[in-house]
Structure 1
Amino acid sequence: MIVTEPVVVIGAGPVGLAAAAHLAERGVEFRVLESGPSVAAAIDEWRHVKLFSPWRYDIDDAARRLLEQGEWTEPDLDALPTGGDLIDEYLAPLAKTLGDKVQYGAEVVAVTRVGYDRIRTAGRESAPFLVRLADGEEMIASAVIDAAGTWRRPNVLGASGIPARGEAEVADAISAALPDVLGRDRERFAGRRTAVVGAGHSAATTLLELGELAEHEPGTEVIWVVRGTDQARTYGGGEADELPARGALGARLKKLVQSGRVQLVSSFRTESIGRTADGRVALTAGDQQVVVDTVVNSTGFRPDHAMVGELRLDLDPILGSTRALAPLIDPNKHSCGTVPPHGVDELTHPEPGYYAVGAKSYGRAPTFLLATGYEQARSVVAALAGDWEAARDVQLNLPETGVCSSNLAYGDSADEAAGGCCGPAPVSIEAPVTRGLATGISGGLLTVVEAEQSGCCN
């Protein structure tokens, strides 16, 4: 395509900035719009959390090449960064390199075609995109790469996909995923009884921190509430995991449960939430009830397509991804490791020039990996630059990392097992899957970050 207006990238998280780096490398004019006050604002909310993949898997290739042109010092590739490290040592320097191409406090509320609603057809493809911000500012774009993530739209606690009865009324007692249990949020949990709802690695991270807190704060009690019956998905591959930190995460949680320091309540499908007479919170599922002081919602996230409601999107009715991508990522059939490589062709909508990448592209499927997001960004940018050979040479190699099964294997809810950017989804592979010229076993596992990204987590 001939680019006459800038490409607008929504979200300055890992995948959004990777797209920006590829655009810069190809000489395509662009702007990055970040709703937060600084780069990767969503990740900043869980900057205390340590990723379980080392730096070598967390840096996009084009971003590295761009950073190496300046005075950037590459971190120790074998070290495990926290979310804060990811920002301070990689994303912030990258954003600085991109300069005024990155605009903060720029919340996108609508994307449409200039002069066209969703119904009008004639001449539609030649009309540029109109991007409107919350403050009323508008800009014209030749294409839109939507890397807004899903962090701002968590799943509900209700087991049927809608809020549990009374959930809204007790919102003040429900914490978002990955609270800083041992730091800024300590007072909320110390000496209190907490229920962590969810079966993914975000839940595991929080449970481990609560277990540590309980060792130092008398009266701290920890309840783990899950819908499924078998926690093998969360415990993971242990020593078989090629990412030792992730294997250790599951092993430590399993030990906590077996010791009784974390009380496991399984087969619990929350129907209603309310206050008890003494002001506590009661989760109810049939005849079962869990009464606590506070709840942590670690049930995953879902995309918000409201801002692109006037575009022509072909969304899968189940997952909310593109219809072409859905069968490749369906958690009822695929694990993280069996999702095949994919790029611009699978991400294309009937609206030419609009692409959702990163966690948002997966809709409600919990099997997203940061490495996948980087490859999506590379492929889409190559297509926008007119290099279709590179765009369709899609490559993705994943190392074996222990256990990563579909939700059917253990009967868990796919949403519940969702990882979160950094509250990482289980990542492993039963056999390497390659396409194009990719061969062998290598690279990248950061689960992203839902948001722009949920950030991001590996």
Structure 2
Amino acid sequence: MIRPVAVIGAGPFGLSTAAHLRARGIPVRVFGDPMVSWREHMPEGMLLKSTPVASSLDCPQPGHTLADYCDAAGVRRLVTDEDIIPVETFVAYGEWFQQRLVPGLERVRVVSVDRGEHGAFELKLDSGESFTARAVVVATGLSGLAHLPPELAGAAGDGPAPTSPVSHSSQHHDLGRFAGQELIVIGAGQSALETAALAAEAGARVRVVSRGRGRVAFGAPPWRQPRLRPESPFGRAWSLWALSHYAQPYRFLPARTRHLLVRKVLGPLGAWWLRDRFEGKVQVHEVDRVLGAEAPDGSPVLTVRTHDGRTERLAADHVVAATGYRVDIAAMDFLGHGLRTSLAVSRGAPRLGAGHVSSAPGLYFTGLPAASSYGPVMRFVCGTEFASPRLVKHLAAAHG
């Protein structure tokens, strides 16, 4: 009996990888709820910052782009840089992709992955089943990686939660629950600015607390992009073009440089179309840093240091930390302790070799956990075009 490859995760990177494996005739079992992070952990009414050309899942077969889905579903075609993608449309596209190319997806959770005999992997599912896989692809996306800065922990109780004084932006689907309340959103990226705009539109009184001077900014609309620079899925710039299309050498850069670029390239910046919905509706409070937080009576109070050195206290009914995600192998508790602690890591992220393989032969990582090895393109859906064919080619050669 030929042992299958196990793909853990059914978001864009998991589905794309599975489609490539199936196209090569490699037996594969895929586990997860398709597009669950996009469907349940993104706010209702959200619009994608990425353009249509950067929002298609890669697969070997033609006819499965976002534009193809629009044609098949009879919805308005999304193809130009000025077309904006509702999250509901993107979720429906991912589910359509899964139904057509990954029909055998199993909606169960992988409880544990451990190294078995002869280099294989032993997996246990929450259904009670155990089986052996010849290789494992971890494509769990943002799951379990939400980052809460330690200075906010004092008001978060047992952790960020919608019912706690402090939550993370990934924990809100319906921002209407804040109607009539004072809300503080911490951050200056698209997640923070769009969360703030949506909450304000739902009737909340919103302040964005931005750490740094002049951090709240918005990108230029497509018609104002420079024309004499090469195109990339993220905009026109030589650096973006290189990072998008030539990510192979990225893993040979010094660790400090790799991690810095992942954080800084395409860093905090609101989408061009969000400016009119944000300015004049949301108050911005720029501070030098957040010093701490507490919730003595159940409502959060932030202590901040201003740019002129003063200390201020900011009160609200709730604080939303739009503070991003941090890859940490320790948070992937489905990986067995022995396997997890033996992996080579760099600042918590797996160190990957050619073809996205980790230091444990047969164990692969794709999507955000691969960003520190292959660059910022792994943070975006268009990264499937780079990652999926290379990962599957390496896997087929090593475990064919």
Of 114, 126, 136, the match for 1:134? 126
Separation in structure 1 between the aligned mates of residue 60 and residue 355 of structure 2, nearest angstrom: 24
1:290 aligns with 2:308: no
Paired residue for 2:326? 302
Per-residue Cα deviation, 1:346-374 (whole angstroms, up to 9, x for no partner): 73322111111001223698772222243
User: What per-residue deviation string (whole Å, max 9, x for no partner) do you get for residues 279-315 of structure 1?
Assistant: 4221224632210001112101123333223223111
Match of 2:91 in 1: 87
Cα deviations across residues 133-158 of structure 1 (Å, max 9, x unaligned)? 23432221111110001243311142
3-state DSSP class of the match of 2:113? Answer: strand
Q: Does the 8 A contact of 1:9 with 1:16 survive in 2?
A: yes
Mapped partners of 1:376, 1:110: distance in 2: 24
Q: 1:246 to 1:155 in 2, by over 3 A?
A: closer
Indicate the SS of the match to 1:296: strand
Please say if 1:185 is aligned against 2:175: yes
Cα gap change, 1:83/1:139 in structure 2, threshold over 3 Å: closer, same or farther? farther
Distance 1:196 1:298 in 2: 7
Give deviations 1:302-357, integer Å, cap 9, x for gaps. Answer: 233332232231110x2x23336xxxxxxxxxxxxxxxxxxx61733221111110
Cα offset for 1:247? 4.3
8 Å CA contact 1:21, 1:66 repeated in 2: no
Equivalent in the alignment of 2:59: 62
| 2:59 match: secondary structure | helix
- Following superposition, the deviation at residue 178 of structure 1 comes to 5.6
User: 5 Å matches for 1:6-405?
Assistant: 6-34=4-32, 36=33, 39-45=34-40, 46=42, 48-62=45-59, 65=62, 67=64, 73=71, 75-78=77-80, 79-88=83-92, 90-98=93-101, 100-104=103-107, 106-115=108-117, 126-159=118-151, 164-168=153-157, 171=161, 172-177=164-169, 184-186=174-176, 188-213=177-202, 217=203, 220-231=204-215, 234-237=217-220, 239-240=224-225, 247-249=271-273, 251-252=275-276, 256=279, 259=280, 261-276=282-297, 279-285=298-304, 287-303=311-327, 304-308=331-335, 309-311=337-339, 312-316=342-346, 318=347, 320-323=348-351, 345=354, 347-362=356-371, 368-386=379-397
User: Which consecutive residues of structure 1, in runs of 5 or more, have no partner in the other structure?
Assistant: 116-125, 325-343, 389-458
1:243 and 1:179 mapped to 2: Cα distance?
A: 29
SS in 1 for 2:153: coil
Q: Distance in 2 between matches of 1:225 and 1:246?
A: 15
Give, in whole Å, the separation in 2 of the partners of 1:99 and 1:355: 19
SS of residue in 2 equivalent to 1:376 = helix
Task: Write the letter of the residue equivalent to 1:48.
Answer: G
Structure 1 residues 108 and 387: CA distance shift in structure 2, 3 A = closer
- Which residue type is aligned with residue 280 of structure 1? S
Distance change (3 Å), C-alpha of 1:4 and 1:95: same
Normalising by structure 2, we get a TM-score of 0.72
The whole-number CA distance in structure 2 between the counterparts of 1:139 and 1:65 is: 33
> Do the aligned residues in 1 keep the contact of 2:196 with 2:282 (CA within 8 Å)?
no
- Say if 1:281 and 1:291, in contact at 8 Å, map to a contact too: yes
Q: CA deviation at 1:237?
A: 4.2
Distance 1:299 1:261 in 2: 18
Partner of 1:140, secondary structure, is: strand
Superimposed CA distance per residue, residues 213-237 of structure 1 (whole angstroms, 9 cap, x where no aligned partner): 4xxx4xx4211123323316x4344
- Indicate the RMSD between aligned Cα atoms, in angstroms: 3.3
- Alignment partners' CA distance in 2, 1:100 and 1:240: 40
* Alignment partner, residue 266 of structure 2: none
Shift of 1:263: 3.0
Percent sequence identity is 24
Q: Structure 2 CA distance, aligned partners of 1:305 and 1:30?
A: 21
Q: Take 2:58 and 2:12, find their aligned partners in 1: how far apart are those partners? A: 12
Residues 313 and 96 of structure 1: CA distance in aligned 2, closer, same or farther (over 3 Å): same
Shift of 1:246: 6.0
CA contact 1:12–1:40 (8 Å) conserved in 2: yes
Q: Give the gaps of 5 or more residues in structure 2.
A: 227-233, 237-268, 306-310
CA contact (8 A) 1:282 1:290 kept: yes
1:322–1:347 Cα contact (<8 Å) kept: no
Distance 1:86 1:64, change over 3 A: farther
**Which SS does the other structure have where 1:222 is aligned?**
strand
Q: Is the 8 A contact 1:179 1:206 kept in 2?
A: no
Mark the CA change 1:206 to 1:137 in structure 2 (over 3 Å): closer, same or farther. same
Aligned to 2:247: none
